[in-house]
Amino acid sequence: MRIAIAQMDTVMGAFSATVDRMAANSEAAAREGADVLVFPSTTLTGFDPAGLLDSEEYLADLSDALDSLAGRLACPCLVPFVLDLGAGEDYEVLYVEGDTATPLRLADCLGRVSEGDVDMAEALDLPATFDLNGVDCGLAFDAVDLSAFASGDAAADVIFYLPFHGFDADDESTALAPSISSGCFLQDAADANSWLVACGPVGGYDDAVFTGGSFVLAPWGQLACVCPSFEETLGICDIDVMSEGPLAEPRRIPDYRRSAFLWDALSLSVSDFVHKQGAAGLAVLLDGSLASSAAATLAVDAVGPVNVHALIAPTIDAAALADARTLAQNLRLDVRELGDETLAGAASSLGLAPDAVGSLAWTALSAMAEASDLVICSPADKTSAGVGPIMPTPARSFAPFGDVYRTDVCALVRQRDTVSPVIPEGALDRLDVPSDLGLEVVSTSQEGRLSELDAILLLHVEQGMGLTTISSERGDDEVVSRVLDRVRSMELARRVMPMSPVVSARTFGERAWPATLAWEDRPRTPVDPVDEESLRNRVDGLMRQMGTKVDDQAVVGDDAADALGFLSDFAQGGGMRTDGGDLWGTGLFSKN
């Protein structure tokens, strides 16, 4: 079987232009003799159409686009898209051959239901399988689907893996081909005894970024095809489902270097955001800080220096101002500069405090961006989202580091400086660590304090820990309490932050609490095994009380019984304990 992969970057909803590009790719694949061409998950609908699935007009145009593919594609094709099957967002794959278009998941589900083995809901939970020219094939959209094939719950000689989840720096497998160097996907293919065809999108789609890296992996662990990361391409290779290897010409597994890969992913998200917004370029504010220097350098890498326009503002001190000028020169930026007297005079005339010059500089940048049709590249990061300060947010702005802790931003810019040293050393040292959180007791260095701050935030956001658990991990109740109080007080301010690419396991948006919340965490005694036993007894007693008979009928409803069953399972499973081991072994701050 000859398989082709169209690794594409598309504009969501541009149906006519996208169908034209798909037809062109199919013609190129047909010239190469492809038996099937696979398109990425985001090609037509993006990864998350959200409320558009409730729009009859959008669905009508999507339907027309899907219908138009039949008869236009020059070879058999797999076309994924997002739809609503009645239970919320779901994924489907259209198999188009000639004038015929078949929804594979729906066809597979109806076949299973007609056989009488499962109902529709159960059928939808199973990975779809289908026959392609006599070859047993299957569809997988995530790790759960891959596990079903690996465990034998589903079987196929060729698995088409079409992920809808964007790049996540906390999950190396989302990089696709480069992650194989760390062992990802190898066991899946081996356990399923299947060829694994992974088709990854490339580009930014709202707050997700996809990095490409499509591949075809043999069951014994060799690559038959690998597509480059961050590029559009058409990959083609032959597979023989009867072969047991080895391949005559296996492809080299690409390396995965986290910092470099994350930097390139963020750069791609910025360039795609500017392009898909139809903007003329980017605007950046330079003040000599690490944050502004990182944003400006990433902006240049994303769209080129001629498309980046900088405003220099003296908001820190003379040394920072000098570093801002040096960076602008190193990056060869178009620069305007606000004089110290101009800002101070404006603040005075408005009756503002001297420290308001930063806000005035942002006002000037917003005016410059609006006049020149630019997107503002915000220096906001995940640390500032947690504890501030949160800068003014113009309507058309993008924060590439908004889901990246400042500790990681430091690592990113230092890695970037090894490529070409453009950021002055002084800027790299201006970490802007809050001075009112008590972090001075944990370290004498700014870097050490920042690492501790970000560690607390990571435990709270990504791992969902509260005050007591974090304190037991980090060892300072007062510091942890101050940090979490600050996080709580910033809830409303976070909701007006600019859009940013999601590149972590959990964002502040996913952790959001009510903005008017009165409850606050407090130190408490950690639960030990004795307390867990007491909790089990209390739950069991509560279940007996709620099961009291009234007129010989139990008063426990299905929902109550389910809830109590969950509580009982939680108590008996020791859910109050935390896992041991080295917290930082391979994590974000393992080198600090």
CB 427 within 8 A of CB 289: yes
Please state which of the ranges 182-196, 311-325, 559-573 shows the lowest mean pLDDT. 559-573
Cβ burial of 439 (10 Å; 0-12, 13-18, 19+) is: buried
CB 234 within 8 A of CB 12: no
pLDDT category of residue 358 using cuts at 50, 70 and 90: low
What does the pLDDT read at residue 523?
Answer: 86
Cβ contacts of 233 within 8 Å, gap of 6 or more = 7, 212, 227
pLDDT category of residue 121 using cuts at 50, 70 and 90: confident
At the second CATH level, the architecture of 264-494 is 3-Layer(aba) Sandwich (3.40)
- Closest listed residue to residue 512, CA positions, set 497, 494, 530, 526: 494
Question: CA distances (Å), 401 to each of 193, 261, 291, 381, in order?
Answer: 40, 14, 9, 5
What is the rounded distance in angstroms from the CA atom of residue 209 to the CA atom of residue 301?
A: 16
At the second CATH level, the architecture of 2-254 is 4-Layer Sandwich (3.60)
- Is pLDDT above 80 for 340? no
**Rounded average pLDDT over 507-528:** 85
In tens, the pLDDT along 429-456 reads 999 999 999 999 999 999 999 999 999 9
Residue 383 CA neighbour count, 13 Å, CB half: 21
- Is pLDDT above 70 for 72? yes
**Rounded average pLDDT over 372-385:** 96
pLDDT category of residue 575 using cuts at 50, 70 and 90: very low
Q: How many CB atoms lie within 10 A of CB 98?
A: 11
Backbone angles phi, psi at 84, to 5 degrees: -115, 115
- Closest listed residue to residue 275, CA positions, set 203, 358, 173: 203
Kindly give the residue spans of alpha helices, DSSP state H, lying in 160-279.
186-192, 258-277
Instruction: Determine what percent of the chain is predicted with pLDDT higher than 70.
Output: 85
**Rounded average pLDDT over 523-529:** 67
Omega of the bond leading into 389 within 30 degrees of 0 (cis): yes
CB 367 within 8 A of CB 395: no
Give the strand pairing for 89-97 and 77-84.
antiparallel
Opening angle at CA 310, ends 314 and 379, nearest 5: 75
- Is pLDDT above 80 for 427? yes
Per DSSP, the three-state class of 560 is helix
β-bridge mates for residue 211, sequence order: 202
411-415 contacts, C-beta under 8 A, 24 or more apart: 411/259, 411/591, 412/259, 412/262, 412/263, 412/266, 412/294, 413/290, 413/293, 413/294, 413/297, 415/259, 415/260, 415/263
- Is pLDDT above 60 for 416? yes
**Rounded average pLDDT over 248-270:** 96
- Is pLDDT above 90 for 205? yes
In tens, the pLDDT along 389-407 reads 887 777 789 999 999 999 9
pLDDT category of residue 328 using cuts at 50, 70 and 90: very high
CA atoms 381, 385, 387, 389: torsion sign: positive
What is the rounded distance in angstroms from the CA atom of residue 289 to the CA atom of residue 523?
A: 36
